[in-house]
Amino acid sequence: MLTSRYLGDFFALLVGALLPLAFAPFGWYPLAVLSPFLLACLWLDVSPARAGWRGFLYGVGMFGVGVSWVNVSFYSFGGMPLLAALGLTAGFIFILSLYPLLLGWFITRYFPQHTFVKWLLVLPCAWVFLEWVRSWFLSGFPWLSLGYSQIDSPLAGFAPVVGVYGVSLAVIFSAGVLVTVGLMGRWRILVLSLLPAVWVAGWLLMQESWTQSIDNPIKVALIQGNIPQEFKWLEGKREESVRRYAELSQQNLDADLIIWPETAIPWFYEHMRTLFEWMALQHKNAQVDFLVGVPYSTADGRYFNSVTNVSSAPVRFYHKHHLVPFGEYIPFSRFIGAILNFLNAPLSEFSAGESVQENLFAARQSIGISICYEDAFGERVRTSLPEATLLVNVSNDAWFGDSIAPHQHLEIARMRALEAGRYLLRATNTGISAIINPQGKLEALSPQFQVHVLRAEVHPYQGVTPYIQWGDIFVVLLTAGGILLGLGLRYKVRQPLV
C-alpha cells in the first residue's frame, strides 16, 4: 500500500515532465490530452491532501522541464550568483506548481464520487479557469497553457472563436472524456463519441475565413542583427550594433517596411537623432518606412521600452505596457529591492505604457505593436484590433540562450496571429524571426544566432474574429459558471460511473 502510494507520487512527477513535449519545439500535441488524463487517473480514490500533493509534483515536473530556461536569464545574462539563480528558479517553479495542487485538492475534496459532473464539467472548467487566473495573477505567466500546444492540431480551429483558453478547454475536455470512458460500466460508446465530435468541430472551424485581405501586398524586411546579449548594452559596442542594423537596412531599401527588433538601438531615442534623420532620408529617397525598437526617456526621469515609426505619418511611440517582473521592473521593490541588490541582480526599472495606445502607422497600414513577452497575452494584443491591419511583435529572446524558450515563444506568437486573423511579423535580435500568416502558419523563418534579413510579401487584413470581438470573457464566464453549476449539482448527481 505504501509502495503504491509513493509510486503514484513518482508517476505524477513523471507525467508532468512529459507535458512540455506537447509544446514547441517538440510538438507532440496528443500528449496535451494524455498527460492530464494520466494525472486524473492518479487522483482516483485518494485523499484531497494526496491529490493536492500529486498535483504539486505534476506542476514541478511540468514547469521544471517546461520553463527551467528562466535560470539562463537569471544566471547567464542576469549576473546572479549560481546558487541565487537556482534558488529563484526553484521558487518560481514551486509557486507555479501551486495551481495544479489547488486543482487536485479541489476536485477530490468537493467531488469525491466519480460522476459525469466531475470529469466532463468540473475538471475542464476548473483547469482552464486556473490557467486564466495564472495569466494575470501576480503580473501573470501564461506559459504552457494547454491551448498553445494545439497550434498544429485540429483543435486550433477554436482559437479565432474562443481564443487559446477555449482551445485549452477542448483539450482538457478530451482528457475528461477518456477518464469517464475508463470508469463507465455502460454507455461507453456514446460518451467516447464526444471525443471525435470535439476534434471534428475544431477541424470544421479551421475551414472558416473570419477576415479578408485588403490592398496590395507589402514587401517587408525583418532585420536580425544577432547582437550577443553580453555585448548588447556595453558602451563600447553600441556604435557597432547600430552600424550593423543600418548597413543591413541599407541593403534592403527596396522593401516597403523595415523592422528592427526590441531595443535594437541600445540607447535612448533622444541621443540618436542623427540615426533617425538618416532613416527619414531613406524614407524620402526610397519610400521605405521603418519600425524600430528603442528605449525612450522623459523629462521627469521615466524611461520606456518602446517602438517608434519613421514614415509619412507623424512620429509616434508605442511604450511597452506589460513589463517582465524582475527583468524590467522589481515587483514589491520597497520590500525586496534590498534583498535583490544583495543577490547582485542587475535589474532595470522601466515604466509601463498606457494599457490602450494608438497604433503606429507605417507602409500605409495601421499596425498593432507588442513587445517581447506581451504577445503571450491575447487581451493585450487585442487592444490594437480591429483597426490594425498588421501585427508586429519585436523581441529579444537572446535572454534565453539556446533553450526551448524561443521556440515556445514563437508558438505563442502563432496563436496570436490565428486569434486575430492577421499576419504577425516577428522581428528578433537573435532569432527566431518569423512571418506568420492569419491561419497561424509559418511562411518564413530565420535561423537562430545568425545575422539575417527575413524578406517576405504580406497582405494587410481586415475583419473581426469572434475572439477579437469578445476576448476571453466568454470562456471565463463559461468556466466559472461550469464550476458553480458543478458545485450545485454535486449533491443531486450521486450516481457514480462504476
The CATH number for 351's domain is 3.60.110.10
Residue 324 pLDDT grade (very low, low, confident, very high; cuts 50, 70, 90): confident
Residue 334 pLDDT grade (very low, low, confident, very high; cuts 50, 70, 90): low
85 pLDDT higher than 90: no
Catalytic residue from among 118, 125, 131, 262:
262
Task: Pick the more confident residue, 462 or 334.
Answer: 462
- Does one domain contain both 122 and 108? yes
**Taking the model in full, what pTM does it have?**
0.94
123 pLDDT higher than 80: yes
Q: So what's the pLDDT on residue 497?
A: 67
- Please compute the mean of the pLDDT values over residues 203-217 and round it to a whole number: 94
**pLDDT tens for residues 8-58?**
999 999 999 999 999 999 999 999 999 999 999 999 999 999 999 999 999
Q: So what's the pLDDT on residue 299?
A: 84
Contact at 8 Å (CB) between 455 and 221?
A: yes
- Does one domain contain both 256 and 119? no
Task: Pick the more confident residue, 204 or 400.
Answer: 204
Residue 248 pLDDT grade (very low, low, confident, very high; cuts 50, 70, 90): very high
Choice among 153-157, 327-331, 462-466 with the minimum mean pLDDT: 327-331
- Does one domain contain both 305 and 363? yes
* 348 half-sphere exposure, CB direction, 13 A CA radius: 14
- Please compute the mean of the pLDDT values over residues 372-394 and round it to a whole number: 96
Choice among 119-133, 177-191, 270-284, 470-484 with the minimum mean pLDDT: 177-191
Q: So what's the pLDDT on residue 77?
A: 64
Q: So what's the pLDDT on residue 495?
A: 61
Catalytic residue from among 232, 320, 328, 411:
320
- Does one domain contain both 334 and 426? yes
Residue 239 pLDDT grade (very low, low, confident, very high; cuts 50, 70, 90): confident
- Please compute the mean of the pLDDT values over residues 415-444 and round it to a whole number: 97
Distance CA(131)–CA(375), nearest Å, equals 16
Clarify whether 262 is annotated catalytic.
yes
- Does one domain contain both 188 and 216? no
Clarify whether 372 is annotated catalytic.
yes
- Does one domain contain both 183 and 306? no
- Does one domain contain both 311 and 456? yes
Q: So what's the pLDDT on residue 337?
A: 52
Q: So what's the pLDDT on residue 490?
A: 79
Q: What is the domain extent for residue 141?
A: 5-210+472-494
- Does one domain contain both 195 and 233? no
473 pLDDT higher than 50: yes
Residue 342 pLDDT grade (very low, low, confident, very high; cuts 50, 70, 90): very low
Q: So what's the pLDDT on residue 129?
A: 98
Q: So what's the pLDDT on residue 184?
A: 78
Residues of the chain with pLDDT > 90, as a percent, come to 75
Q: How many C-beta atoms surround the C-beta of residue 138 within 10 A?
A: 11
- Does one domain contain both 225 and 137? no
Catalytic residue from among 372, 374, 411, 419:
372
- Does one domain contain both 186 and 261? no
Residues of the chain with pLDDT > 70, as a percent, come to 92
Question: What's the domain count of the chain?
Answer: 2
- Please compute the mean of the pLDDT values over residues 310-338 and round it to a whole number: 74
- Does one domain contain both 50 and 109? yes
Residue 339 pLDDT grade (very low, low, confident, very high; cuts 50, 70, 90): very low
Q: So what's the pLDDT on residue 346?
A: 42
- Does one domain contain both 9 and 99? yes
Mean pLDDT across the chain, nearest whole number? Answer: 91
Q: Which long-range contacts (CB under 8 A, 24 or more apart) does 309-313 make?
A: 309/360, 309/361, 309/362, 309/367, 310/276, 310/279, 310/280, 310/283, 310/362, 311/283, 311/361, 311/362, 311/363, 312/283, 313/360, 313/361, 313/362
Task: Pick the more confident residue, 360 or 138.
Answer: 360
Clarify whether 240 is annotated catalytic.
no
